[in-house]
Each structure stands twice: as C-alpha cells, then as structure tokens.
Chains A and B, each alone.
Chain A
Amino acid sequence: MSILTQKDFETVIGLEVHLQFSTQTKIFCGCENVFGRQPNTCVCPVCLGLPGTLPVLNKAALDSAIKTALALNCRVNSYIKFDRKNYYYPDLPKGYQISQFDFPIGHQGHLDIAVNGATKRIRIHRAHIEEDAGKLIHDSEEGCSLVDYNRTGTPLMEIVTEPDLRSPQEAYDYLTALKLALQYLEVSDCDMEKGSLRCDANISIRPKGETKLGTKAELKNMNSFKAVKAALEFEEERQFRILVSGGTIVQETRLWNEDKQATYTMRSKEDAHDYRYFPEPDLVPFIVEAAEIEQIRLRLPENPQAKCSRLQKDFGLSDYDATIIVQDQYLADFFEACAKHSTKTKKIANWIIGPLLKELNDRKCSVKDLSLKPEQFVILIEKVENGDVSNLVGKDVLMSLLQDDTQTVDGMISAQGLSQVSDDSFLEAIAEQTLSEHANVVQQIKNGNEGAI
C-alpha cells in the first residue's frame, strides 16, 4: 500500500459571507447605523428587544439587498418574507434573529473568478437579508463578558456559495472578486476591519474521485481574507492528518486563532442546531413585482468584469492595466474622466497605475477622497509627454496638485520656473562650467573613486 499524501485528497470549501449594508439607520428601527460609537449609545427599545416592541423594515435595506442579489446574478423572488431563527446568545436580544428561511431574496446566483488563467464559475446557493447581532467583549480582568448592542439590527446580507471552491487560494480569490463586485454597488463599505464584511468557511476533504462530501468543519473568527486562507490551509492539513492516521472528522464549529495561527473547537455553541424557524408574525410579506426587479437590474452599476473588458476595448488598455485599474471603482471612474480629455489613454493608465496609485497607497486613501481634477492630471501628463517638463518635475507637480487643488498645472510650472529647457548649447555651457568648478572631483572619478560626488 502506498502512503497517502495530501495530493490524494480533494478539498471542498463553501463560504458564507455576511455583508453589512451602510444604510443610515438599522434594519428594523430608527437608530443610526454607525460603527465605533460608545457602547450602547445607538440603541432603542426595538433593537434592545425590550418587551412589547415591534420591527418595521427599513426600505433602504431591502433595496440594497435586492441590488446585491441581482449583482450576484441571483434569481430574485417577487415574494419576500421574513422568518425567525430561534437561538440563545447574549448578543441576540430577542432570543431570535429575524432572517429568511425558505424564501431568500436571492438564490441560484454565481460569481466568476479567474483560476490559472481560466474563468471558473462559483455558484451562489442563496443570498438572504437578516439583522446583525450585538458585540460580545470578553473581559478577562473582571472574569465576565460585556455586551454592546450598538451593532444589533445592522442590516446584513448573508451570501452563501455552493461547495464549489477547491483550494484556500480559490477561496481567497472568490472573496477578492466578491468584495470588488460589492464595492461597485456602493451598498457597503466592505471594511473587514470594521466587520462590515465577515466570512465563515465550511471545509471538508475527500479522497480524489470520491463524490460524496466529507465531514465538514465550520470555521469562524477570521478577520481578513489572508486569515481565511490561512485558516483553511491549517484545516486542510489538520483534516488530512486525522484521516491518514485512521481517525474521523467531527462535525463542529472551530475558531481561528490569529496569534497561534490555528483553529480550535468552539465550546460556546455546541448546542443542537434546532433553530425552529417559522414565519415572522410581526412583519408582513413584501411583493416586488418582476417589472420592478427588472428596473433595478437595469440600473445596476457596471460590474468590475464588464468594466475591465470595456476599458480594453474602448481605450486600448492592456489586460494587465485594465485589471489593476478596475480594482478600485473610483480609480476606474477617474480613468474614464481623464480619457475624455485626451486620447493618450495608455499614458494616462501608466500615470494612474504608477505615481498616482503609489501616492494613494501611501496615503491609504481613495481617489474619491482627493479633489484631483482629471483635466489637470491630463494636462500634466501631456506636458511630460511633450518634454515640457521632466518626469521628475511632473511627479513633483502631481504632489503639489494633490496638496492644493486650486492650483493649475500651468500656473505651478511658470510660478516655480520648472519648465524643462531644451536648448543644447545652453546646456553644454552649464556642463563645462560645472566640470571646471569641480576639477578635483572629476580627477578622483577618473582615478576610479565613483563615490566622489
């Protein structure tokens, strides 16, 4: 018998993403939907689940949900209803979560990702709307847990894939593509650090060729896409070791520990998962006519994949340049705005991907946060291209433009005498003079001391 290696196994991964919508108010009450406030200051009788209170649906949350479902190529049901998911946890004030059970807003969707240069379609099983829970803070000093209900009732979309992903890398690529698609919709800030986008993963392994799924583990508590990938890699390995040593995988929820780079059994939710779903009697059904759904679909912003192809087709960008530019929808918008002022689209792309993107990354900000005017940016690029100013000076001018948007490129260049000089005899004269003034340095260099300058 040959020794089994990890290569003899196939990994099967399904992801469950929770996306917070950035509506003004929570999903069922008028409390502000905002991150980072003092604990329990964005709460009211409704979101605290006080006796006698009732939910009323925020229209904006439903609109965002429909948009999201459509953007993920889901079928959207005309008939929308809510259900109660019953379980106890201190961060869930009512003892049930208002969610959706048998009629999710969206189902049978998909998102395409690139795997080894080819397109792979990841099917989306369902996308439903629900309310977020509060936040538990573990206070080891006092030996207790503290509950902050500010987050309670934040509108959420749960996006569940089919078990179509075959490696931690694919999972990472799916998340990247999903986040980008969601950012284009402008329904969420998709900020993992703030918890606006969270990901749980189901993973199992099976011998290659086997069609039945193995026993899965559910992984939670990953705070970045990198952590998702690392947790999946750890789990892939852990399950493999168990199987090759003749053990069996236990179906369980495991928590990722970032410090230890390992997953651990989660002890607090080992209950029977009997959620006793039933239709939420406090909310009435919602009917969105097919024509209205079609209207929303038509008004969806262009998705990043479509934009990427269009930038190549309309502006002659390379696949590489287009792909980078569409990673940020505001950068893509900026590119298109610049392209209106100049036909030198390749140069514009270079300047965007080069100095501008570097600066944005350094400042950790988006081009939409700056008031850089596309026409000034284009004027600058053309001046450099025409040789009116040097590349180096051009970059300085860009910095100044970012500093002060009231300035123009022309104004700045003439005020600072930065115009590039192209009279050869004048340049030669300056060179002669410089060399004679520094004759000893010249001599040293001639002697082989290159550091003399």
Chain B
Amino acid sequence: MITNSDIQYISALARISLTEDEIKPMAQDLSSILDYIAQLQRLDVDQIKPTSHVLPLKNVYRDDVIKPSLTQDKALSFAVSESKGAFKVPQIVDN
C-alpha cells in the first residue's frame, strides 16, 4: 500500500510538485499497479541472473577523435533563457 507520505517522498525525488488533489488519486493508481505487480513475488528468482541487455553485445567503443561541436548560437538556439553565452537559471544559493 502506497501512503500519501510515500507519494510525497517520491514526488520530491522525481521533482514533480503534485497538488493536494493529485496526491490521493496518484496513491490509488500506484497502489493498484503495485498490487498487480505483486504477483512477481510468487516466483523464486534467487538463482536467476538479471537481464539488463537482451543482446550479448560487449566492448563497443569510439576512437578518441575530435568531431565538430555546435556553435554557441546553435547550442543556445533552444535555450529557455540565456545570458552571456550561457543557459540562465534561477540563482542557486550555496552559502
């Protein structure tokens, strides 16, 4: 069972500020999905290796050769906010 405080913890981790009236339905939705997923607990997987990649690929490298970068104009062409050749964000206060 997913509690409202679980939802608050996860939404903070996921950087999604759910509104008050979004929290309860989200808890319900996630609970019903997790209830369904709980069937996996029936399987004994102790000796099973996890699969991260379906293909048996390995050692895929690139040579250390310089490729052209974007120009500053192109790099900033989609910027929401920019200043002095950089992406501008709200001030981050460290100390």
A residues adjacent to B (C-beta < 8 A) = 23-25, 29-32, 38-45, 48, 56-62, 81, 88, 90, 136-140, 142-149, 255, 257, 264-268, 271-272, 274, 276, 279, 281, 283-287
In the assembled complex, B38 has its CB within 8 A of some CB on chain A:
no
B65 on the interface (CB 8 Å rule)?
yes
Separation of A255 and B93 alpha carbons in the complex (Å) = 12
- Decide: A29 and B67 in contact? CB cutoff 8 A: yes
- Known: A48-B75, A264-B95, A284-B57. Is A40-B87 also a contact (CB below 8 A)? yes
Which of B15, B90, B94 touches A144 (beta carbons < 8 Å)?
B90
A148 neighbours in B (Cβ, 8 Å): 85-86
A50: nearest chain-B partner, CB-CB: B78
A25 touches B69 (CB 8 A): no
Main secondary structure of the interface of A (DSSP, over half): loop
Give the contacts of B32-78 with A (CB-CB under 8 A). 52-53, 55, 57-72, 75-76
Which residues of the partner chain B approach A286 to less than 8 Å between Cβ atoms?
58-59
Distance between Cα atoms of A30 and B67 in the complex (Å): 5
In the assembled complex, which residues on chain B have CB atoms less than 8 Å from the CB atom of A31?
A: 66-67, 69
B13 touches which of A59, A137, A266, A272 (Cβ 8 Å):
A272
Contact A90 B92 (CB under 8 A): yes
- On whether the beta carbons of A57 and B86 are closer than 8 Å, the reply is no
A39 touches B65 (CB 8 A): no
Complex contacts, A264 vs chain B, CB 8 Å:
95
Selected from B12, B55, B70, B90, the residue in CB contact (under 8 A) with A272 is B12
Beta-carbon contact of B72 and A38 below 8 Å: yes
A41 and B66 contacting across the interface, CB-CB below 8 Å: no
> Is B13 a contact partner of A23 (Cβ separation < 8 A)?
no
Partner of A44, one of B61, B64, B65, B69: B69
Q: Is the CB of B87 within 8 A of A147?
A: yes
B19 in contact (CB, < 8 A): no
CA–CA, A268 to B89, complex, Å?
14
Query: Which of B53, B85, B88, B89 makes the CB contact (< 8 A) with A285?
Result: B53
Task: State whether the Cβ of B5 lies closer than 8 Å to any Cβ in chain A.
Answer: no
A409 to chain B, nearest CB (A): 42
CB-nearest residue of chain B relative to A137? B86
Question: Could you tell me the distance between the alpha carbons of A388 and B9 in the complex, rounded to whole angstroms?
Answer: 82
**Contact indicator A268/B92 (Cβ below 8 Å):** yes
Chain A positions within 8 Å of B69 at CB level: 31-32, 41-44
Nearest neighbor of B15 in chain A, beta-carbon distance: A88
